[in-house]
Amino acid sequence: MSTFMLHDGAANVDLDTVRKVRTPDNTETWYPVPHDVLVDSIKTTIRDHSEFDIASEQYGLWNEGDRLFGLFGLENGSIHDDYALTIGFRNSHDKAFSLSYACGSRVFVCDNLSFSGEVVFSRKHTKYARRDLNRIVVEAFGQLGAQRDKLDRRIEAYKRTQLSDTQVHDLLIRSVDSRVIANAGIAKVLKEWRASDHEEFAPRTAWSLQNAYTEVFKGSNPVDLTARSLRLHGLLDLVATDGGHDPDQIDLLEVDKHYPARYEDGGWELN
């Protein structure tokens, strides 16, 4: 589940509008990167260094272009109708935040400055930021390629895992203890589980239960969305992998010891 939210003064725009934004002059210590340079760098990386295509594009500008927010939905030869990888990015011309880029299956971009994903990099607007941009984006995208494979295997494990009502009831209580949802959310998730509007979630599986949660998440505080999703995956991974010891399913718990990854001005760090 990925979210692009503009509610704090930014407006949805098209790419042509983004390209028209004037970039401020440099100072002795601050070298702003043009918004369209960031967009073009990401697009070039997708075109030249991956098998992905951009299926959807969203852009937002705040205060006549001082801040850019964006989200790309991706697809490739193995298209999935029920989930996708995404790339989120932001840039500022008013020194509000660093140039940032996030990718994964749970990306959140908001004009209230909330920003998150499985793989994130942040680069200050220093003298060599523009020079290093393409290299950093390529490195981040390399992380995304590995993430895609893990996501595919995770979802397949969820789809193979049948759940009884008793198991679902237990997971609901555990999800409250784990701060995935509040007590008031139990009835809402249970309603979605019992009567989903989506045919693909009719099977009684861990994948269908995840969808029940994410439908309820849509009405929650946007700042909490990514954290809630991560906690939910922690619970469902335990069920879908039998604690990580089922030989017929991916050891998701071992995989996720190495994610998310974050780039902070100089190199990658594993969180």
- pTM to 2 decimals? 0.64
In this predicted model, what pLDDT tens digit does every residue of 73-95 receive, in sequence order? 887 655 555 666 778 888 999 99
Buried residues in 112-124 as b, exposed as e (16+ CB within 10 A): eebbbbbbbbbbe
Domain residues for the domain of 235 are 162-248
Residue 77 lies in a domain: yes
Q: Is the pLDDT of residue 186 over 90?
A: yes
Residue 125 lies in a domain: yes
Share of the chain above pLDDT 90, in %: 22
In this predicted model, what pLDDT tens digit does every residue of 3-62 receive, in sequence order? 565 655 678 899 999 999 999 999 999 999 999 999 999 898 888 877 778 888 989 998
Angle at 168 between CA 166 and CA 239, to 5 degrees: 105
Q: Is the pLDDT of residue 269 over 50?
A: no
SS3 sequence of the chain: CCEEECCCCCEEECHHHHHCCCCCCCCCCCCCCCHHHHHHHHHHHHHHHCCCEEEEEEEEEEHHHCEEEEEEEEECCCCCCCCCCEEEEEEECCCCCCEEEEEECCCEEECCCCEECCEEEEECCCCCHHHHHHHHHHHHHHHHHHHHHHHHHHHHHHHHCECCHHHHHHHHHHHHHCCCCCCCHHHHHHHHHHCCCCHHHCCCEHHHHHHHHHHHHCCCCHHHHHHHHHHHHHHHHHHHCCCCCCCCCCCHHHHHHHCCEEEECCCEEEC
Q: According to the model, what pLDDT value does residue 245 have?
A: 40
Number of separate domains in the chain: 2
Residue 253 lies in a domain: no
Q: According to the model, what pLDDT value does residue 170 have?
A: 92
Same-domain status, 90 and 138? yes
Same-domain status, 62 and 181? no
Residue 182 structure tokens: 């509040």
Residue 255 lies in a domain: no
- Phi first, then psi: give them for residue 57, nearest 5 degrees: -135, 135
What average pLDDT is seen over the chain?
76
Q: What is the mean pLDDT of residues 95-117?
A: 69
Same-domain status, 47 and 111? yes
Same-domain status, 15 and 141? yes
Q: How many residues does the chain have?
A: 271
Q: According to the model, what pLDDT value does residue 68 have?
A: 92
In this predicted model, what pLDDT tens digit does every residue of 127-169 receive, in sequence order? 888 888 888 888 777 776 666 677 778 888 888 888 989 999 9
Q: Is the pLDDT of residue 2 over 60?
A: no
Q: According to the model, what pLDDT value does residue 171 have?
A: 93
Q: According to the model, what pLDDT value does residue 20 have?
A: 95
Same-domain status, 134 and 204? no
Same-domain status, 83 and 172? no
Q: Is the pLDDT of residue 253 over 80?
A: no
Q: According to the model, what pLDDT value does residue 144 have?
A: 66
Alpha carbons 16 and 71: distance in angstroms, whole number: 16
Same-domain status, 113 and 26? yes
Q: According to the model, what pLDDT value does residue 220 have?
A: 62
